[in-house]
């Protein structure tokens, strides 16, 4: 048991789609459990790192200060760090706001957007506890060193499976045409 690699995962500015795709490996998750052990992850609901991990898997890029703090925490606690999916690799959908001034983004989201409930008094949330939004969405590898990139939106479950099993077993990853997609 002690020799099993320990895996941690996080979703930063993502939609949890990459985590869903991880679960899409279906019954192979039972095989995966034989191969690895999970630590901090939304899957295990472990909130804090309990030990040094071998592999950290990051979904999503950095759109606010908390994402950055979280990502740095993962880098500190994981030997290998993986960007999983387009958002982690290049910002993805959240990065569509890049180039639009923060004021415009916040006002669209909280004051003027079509989904703002006109019945309430709309405000832009601003509490000490809330993280600060960054000037743009940053890919993970601009903030910390990333060892591997697994593309896709979300990455194909088979690709995630192939990647994790080869990483754990130390074999070379053969990228199959069918599993490599950017969308």
Partner 1 sequence: MSNEIQLTIDGKSIVAKLGQTIVEAARDNNVYIPTLCDFKNLTPAGTCRVCSVKVDGRVVVACGTRVASGMVVENESAEMTDTRKAIIEMLFVEGNHMCPTCEKSGNCELQAIAYHYRITAPRFPFLFPKKSLESVHPLLMLEHNRCIQCRRCVRGIRTKDGKGVFAFKNRSNNIELIMDKSRADDIDDELAAAAANICPVGAIIKKGVGFSTPIGERTFDKQQIGESYGK
Partner 2 sequence: MAEDLEKTIKKVILDTRVEREHLLEILWSVQRSERKIDHNAIKLISKLTGISTLDIEATASFYHFFTEEHAGDITIHLNDSGTSYLAGATEVENAFKRELGIKFGEVTQDQRFGLFFTSCIGMCDQEPAALINDVVFTNLTDSKIASIISQLKSGIAIEKIIGEGEGNNALELIKSEISNNIRNSGEVFFNDKYVKGEALKNALTKSGDEIIAEVKSSGLRGRGGAGFSAGLKWEFCKKNIGDHYVIANIDEGEPGTFKDRILLTQYPQQIFEGMTIAALAIGAERGIIYLRAEYKYLKNYLENCLEEMRKANLLGEKIQSSSFNFDISIKIGAGAYICGEESALIESAEGKRGEPRNRPPFPVEKGFLGNPTVVNNPETFAAVTSIFREGADWFAALGTKESTGTKLFSISGDCERPGVYEFQFGITVEEVLKEVGAKNTFAIQIGGPSGKLISQKFFSRKICFEDLPTGGALTIFDNHRDLLKMVKLYMDFFVEESCGFCIPCRAGNVLLQKTLTKILDKKGTKQDIELLQECSSVMKIASRCGLGLSSSNPVTSSFENFPEIYDNLLSKESFVSTFDMSQAVAESCKYVNRENTFNQEGSHE
The residues binding partner 1 (CB under 8 A) are 83, 86, 89-93, 95-96, 98-99, 136, 139, 141-142, 148-151, 153, 175, 177, 180-183
Please name every residue paired with 80 in a beta bridge, in sequence order, or none if there are none: 55
Angstrom distance (rounded) from CA 87 to CA 152: 9
d(CA 159, CA 149): 11
Q: Between 46 and 105, whose beta carbon lies closer to partner 1?
A: 105
Site string for partner 2, 58-87 (x = CB under 8 A): ----x--x--xx--x---------------
Q: Is 121 in the site for partner 2 (CB under 8 A)?
A: no
CB of 165 to partner 1, least distance (A): 17
Kindly indicate which of the ranges 14-22, 41-49, 101-109, 112-120 contains the residues binding partner 2, using the contact rule CB under 8 A.
Answer: 101-109
Place of tokens 């606010």: 64
Q: What's the CA gap between 7 and 53, in Å, rounded?
A: 6
- The structure tokens 């996080």 sit at 10
Residue 89: name its binding partner from partner 2, partner 1, none (Cβ under 5 to 8 Å by kind). Answer: partner 1
Task: Give the separation between CA 150 and CA 50, rounded to whole angstroms.
Answer: 26
């Amino acid at each position: 048991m002690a020799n099993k690699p320990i895996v941690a995962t996080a979703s930063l500015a993502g939609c949890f789609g990459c985590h869903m795709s991880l679960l899409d490996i279906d019954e192979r998750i039972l095989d995966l459990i034989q191969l690895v052990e999970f630590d901090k992850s939304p899957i295990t609901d472990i909130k804090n790192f309990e030990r040094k991990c071998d592999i950290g898997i990051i979904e999503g890029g950095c759109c606010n200060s908390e994402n950055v703090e979280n990502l740095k925490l993962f880098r500190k606690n994981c030997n290998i760090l993986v960007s999983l999916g387009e958002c982690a690799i290049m910002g993805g959908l959240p990065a569509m706001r890049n180039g639009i001034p923060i004021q415009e983004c916040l006002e669209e989201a909280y004051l003027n957007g079509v989904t703002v409930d006109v019945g309430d008094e709309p405000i832009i949330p601003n509490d000490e506890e809330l993280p600060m939004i960054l000037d743009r969405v940053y890919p993970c590898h601009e903030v910390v060193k990333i060892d591997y990139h697994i593309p896709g939106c979300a990455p194909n479950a088979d690709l995630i499976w192939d990647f994790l099993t080869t990483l754990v077993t130390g074999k070379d990853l053969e990228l199959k045409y069918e599993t490599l997609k950017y969308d």
